[in-house]
Amino acid sequence: MELLFQSYLQKQAIYSRLIASEPAKGLKTIVIIPAFNESEIIAPLESLKQANVTRFPAEVIVLINNGEDTNSAICAQNRKSFSEVSRWIETHSTDQLTFHCLYLGNLPVKHAGVGLARKIAMDEAVLRFSLLNESMGVIVSLDADTLVSPNYLKEIEGAFITNSPLNLATFCFEHPIADESSNGPENEAIILYELYLRYFKHALQATGFPFAYYTIGSCFAIRAKVYAKQGGMNRRKAGEDFYFLHKIFPLGGYVELKHIFVYPSSRKSDRVPFGTGAAVKKIVTDGFYLTYQPIYFKHLKQFFSGIPTLYGATNQVVKAYLQQLPESIKAFITVEEFTSQIQSINKNSATEKTFVQRFYQWFDAFKVIKYLNLIHTKTPRIPILDACQEFTRENYKMDVSNYTGYELLEMYRKMDRG
DSSP string, 220-286: EEEEHHHHHHTT-----SS-HHHHHHHHHGGG--EEEEEEEEEEE------SSSSSHHHHHHHHHHH
Q: CB of 267 within 8 A of CB of 297?
A: no
276 confidence band (pLDDT: 50, 70, 90): low
pTM confidence score = 0.93
267 confidence band (pLDDT: 50, 70, 90): low
Interhelix angle 276-286/185-206, nearest 10 degrees: 120
Neighbouring CB atoms inside 10 A of 204's CB total 21
187 confidence band (pLDDT: 50, 70, 90): confident
What confidence score (pLDDT) does residue 273 get? 46
Cα–Cα distance measured from residue 385 to residue 401, given in angstroms and rounded to the nearest whole number: 9
Q: Above 50 in pLDDT, residue 95?
A: yes
Model confidence over 300-352: pLDDT tens digits? 999 999 999 999 999 999 999 999 999 999 999 999 999 999 999 999 999 99
Provide the phi-psi class of 253: left if phi over 0, else alpha when psi is between -120 and 50, else beta: left
Q: Above 90 in pLDDT, residue 289?
A: no
Summarize the confidence of residues 157-170 as an average pLDDT.
97
Task: Please report the domains of the chain, with CATH numbers, ordered by start residue.
Answer: 2-280 (3.90.550.10), 294-375 (no CATH)
Cα–Cα distance measured from residue 174 to residue 154, given in angstroms and rounded to the nearest whole number: 20
Neighbouring CB atoms inside 10 A of 22's CB total 10
Q: ∠ CA(188), CA(242), CA(146), 5° rounding?
A: 50
